[in-house]
Structure 1
C-alpha cells in the first residue's frame, strides 16, 4: 500500500488527480451495486475475532485454494463452509485482508488455517500475481493505467442465470393486462407472428402508443394472465402473464382522413407500428404490450431471511411441467409482505409420504414420514404476495406443493 501511495505521489498533478478519481470510481461502484448490510458486517466482525468452529467447515474444505475466473462468492462459501448462504462468516474469517467481500479477484489464494477447534481464512496473492513483489531491479516511468477492477471482481452468483427472468417473469394484478395496449393486425393477414415481423397495435383512448424516446421504445409482449393459487388455501395470490417476446415501437398512433362511399371524409384511427425484435413463442392478434422495465442493479447476495418463513412452491416457470431442476425458476407463495427480499435463501423440503404402519402383527395405523430437505433456492424477484426463486441445488427435483423454510 505504501509503494502504491509513493507511485501515485510521483505522478504529475493532472495524472495524480485522474488516478484519484479512477480509484474512487473503481471501489465505490461495487459497494453501491452489492451493499453489505449492518447485520452481515456484525457477523463478519464477530467471526474475525474468534474464527469459526471446525464443525462449520465443509468436510472437504481445502487448505489452500486459488480463485479462478468464473468462481462466485457462493462457490467459495460452499467450498469452505457447510452452509453457502453464511458467506459473512467466510468474510469474517478473512476480514483483515478483504475489506469488501465483493472484491475478490482471480489469482488470489485463500489459505485455511486451523487452530484448535477454530478455523480462520486468510488471503494470499498467488505467485506472479498483480501484487507480487518484483524479483529484479527494473526502471519504471510514471503512467496512468485504466483497468476495470469492478468487472474483474467475483460475482455473488452467475448473473446469466437470473438476468433473462428479470425481463420475462411478471406478476400482475387482476384486469391489468386486459387494459394494456393490444396487437390488432399483422401484414398480409398473418396469423402467427415471430421475430422480424411488423405488427400494428392500439393503446387505450387516454393512453395511445406514442414514441417517447429517440429511436423507439421497447415493449414486452404477453398473453392472458394465469391465476396463481396458494397450494393449501387455493386463494388467488396474483396473476402470471405469459411472456412471448419483445417489440420496438417505431411509429406512434395517429389519425387519418378517409373518404367514405358517399364522398364524405371520415377520420379513422391509425394504429402504432412495432417491429418484433425477439420471440420466445409465436404471437398473434390480441396479445398485449407492456413497457419494458428499466435495467436494475440489484444485489443477489445470498443470505438467510431475518424472520421465520414457511411457504410453498406455487408453480413452475416456463416449460417446466412437473419437476424443476437446478438453475430453473419457480414461484413461491411468499413475497415482500412476508419480509422476503432479493437474495434470501430458503431450504426446500419434500413432504414425507403417508403410509400404513405394518411393522407388527395387527398394526394398521396410518403415519406420515418426516419432511426431508431437498435443496436450496434463492429469491431474486419478489412481489407483494409471490416471489420468483432460482433453484440453487436439488436432489430429486422440485414440484408444486413442496415446502420452503429458513435454511437453518
Structure 2
C-alpha cells in the first residue's frame, strides 16, 4: 500500500471517529433533570448548568426553540422541560402567568438575566481603560469650597475648564497603566469613577456639584462629560471567542489569585476582535522539566543555579508539560486594546499571565 493511500485511510478513520463540535453541538451533563421550575434569582447561565457540561452554550439550548424566541422572556415560576428535536436537546417552557389589576395576562415577576448583573454592575459603569492622550486632555479638579482634601456628595469642586452650565459629568480617578508583557506596548490607562456631578456655574473655573460619590474625590482627578462609552450595555449572549493569543492582563484590586465570579482584565480588545459575550478557556502554562546529569527529571522548584542556566540556554534539555485547564470566563466590557471578563467557572485559581484560549472545538465520539 503506497503512502498516499495510507494517508487517505487514516483521514477516513478520523472522520468516522471525530465529531466537529460547533455552536450547535451540546453535551448534556450526567444526571441532568428532565424538568426545572425557574426560581427568583436564577440566571440563564445557572439554569443551563443543570443540563449542560458547558453552560455558556445556553443560546443553542434555548435560542432555536420557537416557544422561546427571546430567552430573556423566561420568568420565575415557568416550568422548563428537556426534549429532543431532530435528535438535539432543547428546552421548552410552560409559562407561569397571572392576571394584573387591569385584567391583562402578564408574567408574575421580572425576566431572569443571562448572568447575575450585581456581580458586574459596578464595573459596567465605573471602570474604563482609555488612551493616555485622551486622558491628558481632560480638565482636572483643582480644589473645592470645602477645606477638606476629600470631597463627597453635595460638595462643590472647582474644575479648570469652561464647562456648559447644567452639563452632567463623571469624575475619574486615574489608576494603573496597562502594557503588553511581551512587546511593552501601552494598552491604556485604567480610570475609575469616583463621583458624578452637574455644572452649576460655568466660567474659566467652573463649579461642579457632586451628585453622588462612589469614593472620595481629590484634587487632580479628571472630569469628563457623561457619554455612551462610559455606560456600557448589560446584555450578553455568550459565544466562543475567536481571538487568539490573549492572556489575563490584571486582576481587580491587584489580587494575586482569583476564582469564580471574580473580574479580570484581558490584554486584547475590540481592535483584536474581542466582543461582549465572548467565552475563553483559561489555561496555565505547563511546567518545563529538564533532565539532570543523572538522567532524573528536575522540576522548576528543584533546579540548581546550574540547571537554571542550562534550561535558559539549551532548549534541547527542556520538556514542556501540557498546559493545565483552570476555568472559563465571559467578556462583558470591551475597550480598544483591553477588555474585562467575569470568571464563570474555575477548577484552580487564576493568575495574571494565564493564557486565554478559544473553547475546544473537537471531541471524540462518546465523550
Q: TM-score range by the shorter chain?
A: 0.7 to 0.9
List alignment gaps of at least 5 residues for structure 2.
1-21, 299-316, 361-367
* Residue 388 (1) aligns with residue 340 (2): yes
- Three-state SS of the structure 2 residue aligned to 1:154 is coil
* Residue 220 (1) aligns with residue 176 (2): no
**What is the count of residue pairs matched by the alignment?**
318
Cα distance in 1, alignment partners of residues 69 and 133 from structure 2: 49
Cα distance in 2, alignment partners of residues 148 and 175 from structure 1: 51
1:298 offset after TM fit, Å? 4.6
1:225 offset after TM fit, Å? 5.0
Return the match for 1:252 from 176, 180, 201.
201
TM-score normalised to the size of structure 2? 0.76
- Three-state SS of the structure 1 residue aligned to 2:235 is coil
* Residue 112 (1) aligns with residue 82 (2): yes
Once the two structures are superposed, residues 308-362 of structure 1 have per-residue CA deviations (whole angstroms, 9 ceiling, x without a partner) of: 4330111123x24312332222111111122211111111112222334579845
Q: Which structure's relative contact order is higher, taking Cα pairs within 8 Å and 6+ residues apart?
A: 2
Cα distance in 2, alignment partners of residues 69 and 232 from structure 1: 46
* Residue 330 (1) aligns with residue 330 (2): no
Change (3 A) 1:195 1:393: farther
* Residue 123 (1) aligns with residue 75 (2): no
Tell me which residue corresponds to 2:255.
321
Tell me which residue corresponds to 2:314.
none
Change (3 A) 1:399 1:160: same
1:367 offset after TM fit, Å? 2.8
* Residue 97 (1) aligns with residue 33 (2): no
* Residue 349 (1) aligns with residue 283 (2): yes
Cα distance in 2, alignment partners of residues 369 and 221 from structure 1: 48
Once the two structures are superposed, residues 342-396 of structure 1 have per-residue CA deviations (whole angstroms, 9 ceiling, x without a partner) of: 1111111122223345798455554322211111111111122211112222233
Once the two structures are superposed, residues 131-180 of structure 1 have per-residue CA deviations (whole angstroms, 9 ceiling, x without a partner) of: 8xxxxxxxx9xx95457659722211122222221221112112222221
Cα distance in 2, alignment partners of residues 99 and 402 from structure 1: 37
The 5-angstrom pairing of residues 273-312 of structure 1 reads 273-294=207-228, 295-305=231-241, 307-312=242-247
TM-score normalised to the size of structure 1? 0.69
1:401 offset after TM fit, Å? 0.6
Return the match for 1:339 from 273, 290, 303.
273
Return the match for 1:210 from 153, 158, 164.
164
| Aligned 8 A contact 1:244 1:283 in 2 | no
- Three-state SS of the structure 2 residue aligned to 1:85 is helix
Cα distance in 2, alignment partners of residues 147 and 171 from structure 1: 45
- Three-state SS of the structure 2 residue aligned to 1:175 is helix
Cα distance in 1, alignment partners of residues 235 and 223 from structure 2: 28
Tell me which residue corresponds to 2:304.
none
